[in-house]
């Protein structure tokens, strides 16, 4: 990172942006699955049941992938000095002076 002139804070911010993108992508996949099931089943069952079934179908894989992303950011909250102050609002602790 030193040779490329990239700081830890820039790397962490880039990672957070990617993680937020992954969460949005997970929502899009969930909505597309529900939409596909509604189109296929039509009015044979109540729409709420179809959407719940679609959500149950993808709940475990999406939860697992988002949990992995969340765990990968735990070291960011252990940062000190300038970088630590940058990420303090994310975990609610006051920065040490």
Q: Are 83 and 19 in contact (CB under 8 A)?
A: no
Q: Are 19 and 69 in contact (CB under 8 A)?
A: yes
Per-residue pLDDT tens digits for 52-84: 999 999 999 999 988 888 887 777 666 666 656
Instruction: Please give the Cα distance from 17 to 45 (Å, whole number).
Output: 39
Per-residue pLDDT tens digits for 2-54: 777 767 777 777 777 888 888 888 899 999 999 999 999 878 899 999 999 99
pTM: 0.61
Mean pLDDT over each residue of the chain, to the nearest integer: 79
């Amino acid at each position: 990172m030193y040779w490329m002139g990239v700081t830890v804070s820039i790397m962490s911010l880039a990672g957070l942006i990617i993680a937020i993108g992954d969460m949005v992508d997970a929502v899009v996949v969930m909505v597309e699955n529900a939409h596909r099931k509604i189109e296929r089943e039509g009015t044979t069952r109540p729409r709420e049941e179809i959407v719940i079934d679609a959500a149950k179908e993808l709940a475990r894989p999406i939860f697992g992938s988002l949990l992995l992303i969340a765990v990968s950011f735990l070291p960011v909250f252990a940062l000190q000095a300038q970088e630590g102050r940058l990420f303090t609002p994310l975990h609610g602790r006051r920065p040490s002076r």
